[in-house]
Amino acid sequence: MKAVRISLTINSAVTGPHQVPETLPMIDYLHEYCGLTGTRFGCGIGACRACVIIVDHDDGTSAAVPTCFAAASDFNGKKVRTIEGHAVGGRLTSLQEAFLDHFSFQCGYCTPGFVNEAQVLLESLAREPVPRAEVDARILTAMDGHICRCTGYVRYYEAIRAVILADPRLTR
């Protein structure tokens, strides 16, 4: 069992170093070594995207990355955000508020993945706004990878659309 030493920044806090098996999935690292269970395991093969977290790149861009099969060692040295890092001091983000206001989720198990992915979308729109007429298509492109079994997606998408249209920086 080959082990590696990893350390990364999670929600602005440096974690580790931890000695972990080389092939340990990132989600298991979050759950078992960091106690961060808000990232949800859905499929283990990257098909449902319940498990995505946000990876913040040095160039200022971010991406939502699955954690269910990618090794924790792949995240060594990286800066990531998990669901636990969005609300600061109990204050929810506008996206989280919108999900609540729109009754977007039901069982809630896929919600952290939706929050992370949609947050990445919002931040990318802030860098490159899209025409208002293209908002729906853009949301679908960003979010279609996420499976929700309870809701039929409607209220999730309505909430994301509402947040985008309410922020003049995100559209043109």
Partner 1 sequence: MTRTARGCGTLDRREFLRRFIVGGIGVTVLPFPSVRADTFGLPSSSPDARNGPPHRRVDGYPKVTGAKLYSADFRAADMPGWPSRTSHAMLVRARDVSQAFAGIDLSGLEPSLRPDRTVLAVDLAAARLRVPSFYAGDLLCPVGQAPAYLGQPLALLIWNDFAAFAEARQALRGAANPVRHGAIAGPQPRTPYGGMRYVRVAGPTPDSADIYSPVLDGWTVPERYQPLPPQQLSGPAAPRFAAEWDPPNPSGSPAARASYYGQQVRELLDNPNPDLLVIEQTFHTPSNDPVFLEPETGLAWHDSSRRTLELVLGTQSPDDSASSIGELVGETSGDLRVENVVAHCTSIGGGFGGRDHSIFPLYVALAALFAANTPVRLANDRFEQFQSGLKRHAFEIRSKLGIDRKTGRLVAYAADLTGEGGGLANYSASVGLVAAAAAIGIYNIPKVDVSSVVLASTAVPAGSMRGYGTLQSMTPLEVMIDRAAEALGRDPIAFREANALASGQRNLTGNIPGGAVRTQEVLDKLARHRLWTQRSADKKRHSALYPEKAYGVGVACVNKDYGGGADAALAKVEMTPEGRILVTSSAVEIGTGLSTAIAVRTTEHLGACADRVTMGALSEWKPLRLETSGNPYTIGQAEQDAAASNPRWVPRLNVSTYASIGAHVDTHVVAEAARIVYRFGVWPAAIAIWGKGVMGGQAAGEFLRPEGARFVGDALTAAGMEPLPLARLAEKAHEMGLVTTAMVHGFNRWNWAAAAFEILGARWEAPIDALAVQYGRGAASERRALLDSSGFHLLDRISVDFPNTRFQRFGTNYVAACGSIAVVEIERSTGVVKIVEAYSVLECGRAILPEAVSGQAQGGFAQGVGFAMTEFLPLFEGGPGSGDWNLDRYHVPRASDLPLWNLEVEILPPLGPTDVPKGIAEVVMIPIGPALLNAIYDATSHRFTSVPVTASAIKEVLG
Is 44 within 8 Å of 113 (Cβ atoms)? Answer: no
Contact code string over 51-80 relative to partner 1, x by CB under 8 A: ------------------------------
The pair of structure tokens assigned to 131 is 């025409």
CB of 17 or CB of 108, closer to partner 1: 108
| 82 part of the interface to partner 1, by CB under 8 A | yes
| 143 part of the interface to partner 1, by CB under 8 A | yes
Is 125 within 8 Å of 171 (Cβ atoms)? Answer: yes
Name residue 71's beta-bridge partners: 25
DSSP state of 41: P
How far apart CA 16 and CA 34 sit, in angstroms, is 9
56 by DSSP, 3-state: which?
A: strand
State the minimum distance, in angstroms, from the CB of residue 147 to partner 1. 6
Residues 6+ apart with CB under 8 A from 102: 155, 156, 158, 159, 162
CB under 8 A: which stretch of 38-46, 73-81, 119-127, 164-172 binds partner 1? 38-46
Is 107 within 8 Å of 150 (Cβ atoms)? Answer: yes
Contact code string over 6-35 relative to partner 1, x by CB under 8 A: --------------xx-xxx--x--xx--x
| 160 part of the interface to partner 1, by CB under 8 A | no
| 119 part of the interface to partner 1, by CB under 8 A | no
Interface residue list for partner 1 (CB under 8 A):
1, 3, 20-21, 23-25, 28, 31-32, 35, 37-45, 47-48, 50, 82-84, 86-87, 92, 96, 99-101, 103, 105-112, 115, 136, 140, 143-155, 157
